[in-house]
Structure 1
Amino acid sequence: PLGCAGSTPVSGTQSLYSSSMKPSANKHHIPSNQIVWTEENALWYAEQYGDHISNDLTINNIELKPNDILLDIGCGTGTAVKIASIICHNGRIYGIDPIQTMINIAKKDQPLNIEFSVGSAENIPLHDKSVDKIIAINSIHHWNDYNKGLLEINRVLKSGGLFFISNDIVNNNDCGHGTGPLQTNKNIMSELKNAGFIDMTLHDYTLEDEGIHLIRSKKV
């Protein structure tokens, strides 16, 4: 239904990462290799963060148009794309997440112009050059292979399409998602450039003492 080859589903009770750890109450800034996603903690995560302000701040600042085709990578319970569906009322919206339980929750009260599917950044189940805009909200640090993920994003974006990376502002740190090559906004923008994206910009948006770093990039 979504297009080309799909991803292998991850069961809500199947271990996705190597070590056993339930996400802590310190937002959702946990290194991905420390999480084992089960149905229990997926439901817990959805209750804690499904309506986080980062969803509103992102959708309201990505230049959405009524006819846009939008993809959310790591859509979780689908809050962001459901907000976007009000703006993209003549377009089409796709949400993918590697966790089946998240997708099951997202499909509840699903608007007609949204399609949810199990999928990952490294294996996006969409055709080449089929999407106007792509968002990744607090998810890029959970990708297993960000180089492959960026190549996939480049593949499915239309020429001139936009890719937005949104990360929470945490204790004035760049990203707050642990260590690694994507720990800072500077490094993220460098990797985007290496992957062939252009016109990178970085803006901060805040509301009620919460905020996001929003990186905008463009496909040639």
Structure 2
Amino acid sequence: MYRDADLRLLVAGGGRVGRKTAELLLEYGHAPVLVDHDEEVVNALQENTTQYTTVIYGDAEEEETLREAGIEDADVMLALTQSTETNVAICESARDVAPSVRTVARLRREPTGEDDSESIDELVFPEHAGARVAVDKALDAPVQPVADLATHLEVVTLKAAEGAPAAGATLADVLVPSEATVIADMESEEVADGETVVVPGHRYLIATDPAVADDLKKLFRG
């Protein structure tokens, strides 16, 4: 679950996306390490000691920098610089040093087949989400993406675990917090209702108030 307190995360890129990601991780109870190759950016971030736990100056493509940042003990490497090629290279370097680390790479364009890499677990394209929000708001669309960060709600995915309190039960019988709504079973691609059975191994799309995220984790993960 994204609020587990013991996750060790490295964020490469001290730009807007990297900073916002680090801020959110801090809100979720993590202490990310932020890496950037621009000395002025690093100095500015280091001055705000209440915002970031650790900021490191260096090239995240270099193994030496990654080791200094703690890649060998990291759970996740997020490559969020402004360059797609750099982000891919960072993930490849991270995987070379720490084969089990989970990697996330930011793209500056629509994903293509050329972006497939054994060193990258997840691809993110934040500009695409931002563009959709802008268009929907401009057209006053009746249904707008709840990924818009202007709202207090979050949309998360949770994978149900074997033996969890909700496993094997219908949503009608699960005490889901009133501040959260299970939207869909992402494996069966069906909209959820009271008759939906929580299947271990399936991922569920949930709209929630961040305050009850830990309660959801207990229900779906145990």
- The two structures have a TM-score, normalised by structure 2, of 0.45
Greater helix share, structure number: 2
Structure of greater Rg: 2
Greater relative CO, 1 or 2 (CA 8 Å, sep 6+)? 1
- The two structures have a TM-score, normalised by structure 1, of 0.46
